[in-house]
């Protein structure tokens, strides 16, 4: 049985969420403040953490940051407003997904299921030497990219970008996350550079680079890789 930890200081909300998830067959623990939440995170082997951003004491951001340093447990942030999204999914915090309050339980449980499924897929992908999507293959042992069976020349930065996309199909990846992962540099200095590399990458993997169907621009966030022939 999958174990989920809810860290949320509004008790009625925490309990309502817990009840819904238990009905779905998950085992649920609740922590009502940051400190006890963090303690539970470290003690319990959870499959997923639902984390409120605004908590008394140690806040959700701090917990997420700490968690990322020592574990790859999926985290879904509960945020009060959409404007927190960049921060939440960005490099600094690295949450896997977010839900904006107020949310309905059906939406939340759908996100929980999706993140758990993706987590399982990511773990598989991490172990695979070849990452695939449609006719794109990235061979990590040979350090080679093939499209439609033909080897495509790919500079390191484009290779890294493509690898990130193949690892996170269907997920909007924030610009600052991509930049942080690929260049390990600061966001503002590299923003234009990212666009250039995305354009070059599109020329290599898109059937029609002027109308991208694989590397999709997500306005205000970044880019999303559409996996072909995959149901997500
Ligand atoms: Ca709160």
Confidence at 208, pLDDT banded by 50, 70, 90: very high
Displacement of CA 77 from its chain's centroid (Å) = 11
Query: Quick check: 203 pLDDT over 90?
Result: yes
Residues listed for the chain: 232
| In a shared domain, residues 75 and 95 | yes
| In a shared domain, residues 17 and 101 | yes
| In a shared domain, residues 218 and 168 | yes
Confidence at 209, pLDDT banded by 50, 70, 90: very high
| Peptide bond connecting 145 to the previous residue in cis, omega within 30 degrees of 0 | no
Assess if residue 230 is contained within a domain. Answer: no
Displacement of CA 225 from its chain's centroid (Å) = 12
CATH number for the domain spanning 170: value is: 1.10.10.10
Return the pLDDT at 205. Answer: 95
Task: Please state the domain count of the chain.
Answer: 2
Distance (angstroms) between ligand 1 centre and the Cα of 145 equals 45
Displacement of CA 93 from its chain's centroid (Å) = 11
Distance (angstroms) between ligand 1 centre and the Cα of 223 equals 30
Assess if residue 232 is contained within a domain. Answer: no
Distance (angstroms) between ligand 1 centre and the Cα of 173 equals 26
| In a shared domain, residues 25 and 92 | yes
Distance (angstroms) between ligand 1 centre and the Cα of 97 equals 17
Distance (angstroms) between ligand 1 centre and the Cα of 43 equals 22
| In a shared domain, residues 141 and 56 | no
Distance (angstroms) between ligand 1 centre and the Cα of 15 equals 13
Distance (angstroms) between ligand 1 centre and the Cα of 6 equals 12
Segment 34-88, tens digit of pLDDT: 999 999 998 888 999 999 999 988 999 899 988 888 887 899 999 887 666 666 6
Distance (angstroms) between ligand 1 centre and the Cα of 52 equals 6
Return the pLDDT at 232. Answer: 35
Cβ neighbours, 10 Å, residue 231: 5
Query: Quick check: 158 pLDDT over 90?
Result: yes
Distance CA 168, CA 191 (A): 20
| In a shared domain, residues 101 and 216 | no
Distance (angstroms) between ligand 1 centre and the Cα of 24 equals 24
Confidence at 201, pLDDT banded by 50, 70, 90: very high
Domain boundary among 127, 154, 179: 127
Assess if residue 231 is contained within a domain. Answer: no
Tell me the C-alpha to C-alpha distance, in Å, between residue 187 and each of 193, 199, 223.
10, 18, 15
Structure tokens at 1: 């049985």
Assess if residue 209 is contained within a domain. Answer: yes
Distance (angstroms) between ligand 1 centre and the Cα of 208 equals 46
| In a shared domain, residues 14 and 122 | yes
Segment 166-188, tens digit of pLDDT: 988 888 999 888 888 888 655 56
Give the mean pLDDT of 147-161. 93
Give the mean pLDDT of 108-131. 82
* Summary mean pLDDT of the chain: 87
Distance CA 55, CA 35 (A): 10
Distance (angstroms) between ligand 1 centre and the Cα of 224 equals 30
Return the pLDDT at 92. Answer: 64
Distance (angstroms) between ligand 1 centre and the Cα of 163 equals 36
Domain boundary among 77, 103, 127: 127
Residue 171 belongs to domain spanning: 134-225
Return the pLDDT at 231. Answer: 39
Distance (angstroms) between ligand 1 centre and the Cα of 30 equals 13
Beta bridge mates, 54: none
The closest of 63, 110, 100 to 80, measured between CA atoms, is: 100
Distance (angstroms) between ligand 1 centre and the Cα of 219 equals 28
Query: Quick check: 8 pLDDT over 80?
Result: yes
Distance (angstroms) between ligand 1 centre and the Cα of 11 equals 10
Distance CA 50, CA 77 (A): 6
| In a shared domain, residues 117 and 167 | no
What's the burial of 186, exposed, middle or buried (CB within 10 Å: 0-12/13-18/19+)? exposed
Return the pLDDT at 7. Answer: 97
The closest of 193, 182, 181, 223 to 206, measured between CA atoms, is: 223
Distance (angstroms) between ligand 1 centre and the Cα of 49 equals 15
Give the mean pLDDT of 116-145. 83
Query: Quick check: 118 pLDDT over 70?
Result: yes
Assess if residue 114 is contained within a domain. Answer: yes
Domain boundary among 127, 152, 175: 127
In this predicted model, which residue has the larger pLDDT, 39 or 189?
39
Return the pLDDT at 105. Answer: 93
Greatest alpha-carbon pair distance for the chain in Å reads 57
Return the pLDDT at 230. Answer: 43
Return the pLDDT at 83. Answer: 64
Return the pLDDT at 119. Answer: 76
């Amino acid at each position: 049985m999958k174990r989920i930890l809810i860290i949320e200081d509004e008790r009625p909300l925490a309990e309502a969420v817990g009840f819904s998830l238990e009905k779905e067959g998950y085992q649920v623990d609740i922590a009502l403040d940051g400190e006890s939440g963090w303690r539970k995170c470290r003690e319990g082997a959870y499959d997923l953490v639902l984390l409120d951003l605004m908590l008394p004491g140690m806040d959700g951001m701090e917990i997420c940051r700490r968690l990322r340093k020592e574990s790859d447990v999926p985290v879904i942030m509960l945020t009060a407003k959409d404007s927190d999204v960049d921060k939440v999914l960005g490099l600094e915090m690295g949450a896997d997904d977010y839900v904006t309050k107020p949310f309905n339980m059906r939406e939340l449980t759908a996100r929980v299921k999706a993140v758990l499924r993706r987590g399982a897929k990511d773990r598989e992908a991490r172990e695979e030497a070849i990452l695939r999507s449609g006719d794109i293959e990235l061979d990590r042992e040979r350090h080679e990219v093939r499209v439609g069976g033909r080897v495509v020349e790919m500079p390191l930065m484009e290779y890294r970008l493509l690898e990130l996309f193949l690892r996170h199909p269907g997920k909007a990846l924030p610009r600052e996350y991509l930049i942080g992962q690929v260049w390990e540099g600061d966001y503002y200095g590299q923003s234009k550079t990212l666009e250039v590399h995305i354009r070059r990458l599109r020329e290599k993997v898109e059937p029609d680079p002027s109308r991208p169907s694989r590397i999709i621009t997500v306005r205000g966030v970044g880019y999303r890789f559409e996996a072909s022939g995959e149901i997500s």
